[in-house]
Amino acid sequence: MIERDRLAEGEVVSRRVARAPWSPAQFVALAIGIFFIVLGGVALARTGIHTDNMTRMTQVGGWQHTTWLGLGELAYGLLMLAAGAVPGGLRGLMSFLGVAALGFGIIVVIQPSSFHRTLGVTAGNGWLYVVTGAVSVLAAMAAPVVFGSDRVAERRHREVYTH
């Protein structure tokens, strides 16, 4: 935000530039988002999107995937990327996504067979989501928001004499 004041001759003119706040949590959200976009994208590239068979299985990074899981991870990565791209961070969205990943991961770790046919998940996938969710929630809760200092420039308006 820039403020400009028109003042009479001999008075001080000042400008203020307010910097947007940022948080280290943004970097965590961006890293998680990029990771899941790549993971989901590679899974989709390997399985293909065939509407008659969305449960084709592949392995990416040591984790099993189906087309459905690849789509879900891609969407999760895009949302997490959006949470990290906003100055100051969309901490609410980041927290929600972290809790969702943590909850889903716990369910998958406890009972991976319930989702294996549709999503291709194993307990290893569940631990990935548990760790991702925990890191996301902790970063959203603990990382401070850093407010940039205002920059102020001042100058005196000179009187101009004309003869």
Structure tokens at 47: 């399985």
Asked whether the beta carbons of 5 and 13 are under 8 A apart, the reply is yes
Is 147 a member of any domain?
Answer: no
Is 73 a member of any domain?
Answer: yes
Q: How would you label 84-120 residue by residue, b for 16+ Cβ within 10 Å and e otherwise?
A: bebeebbbebbbbbbeebbebbebbbeebeebbeebb
Is 18 a member of any domain?
Answer: no
Is 111 a member of any domain?
Answer: yes
Is 81 a member of any domain?
Answer: yes
Is 162 a member of any domain?
Answer: no
- Contacts of residue 126, defined as CB under 8 A and 6 or more positions apart, other chains included, come to 104, 105, 106, 107, 108, 109, 110, 112
**Residue-level pLDDT at 145:** 72
Is 2 a member of any domain?
Answer: no
Beta bridge partners of 13: 155
Asked whether the beta carbons of 78 and 87 are under 8 A apart, the reply is no
The boundaries of the domain holding residue 85 are: 24-142
pLDDT in tens, 18-63: 666 777 888 999 999 999 999 999 999 999 888 888 888 888 888 8
Is 133 a member of any domain?
Answer: yes
* Number of domains within the chain: 1
From first to last of the 163 residues of the chain, give the pLDDT tens digit: 555 555 555 565 566 666 667 778 889 999 999 999 999 999 999 998 888 888 888 888 888 888 999 999 999 999 999 998 887 668 889 999 999 999 999 999 999 888 888 888 889 999 999 999 999 999 988 877 777 665 555 565 555 556 5
Asked whether the beta carbons of 63 and 128 are under 8 A apart, the reply is yes
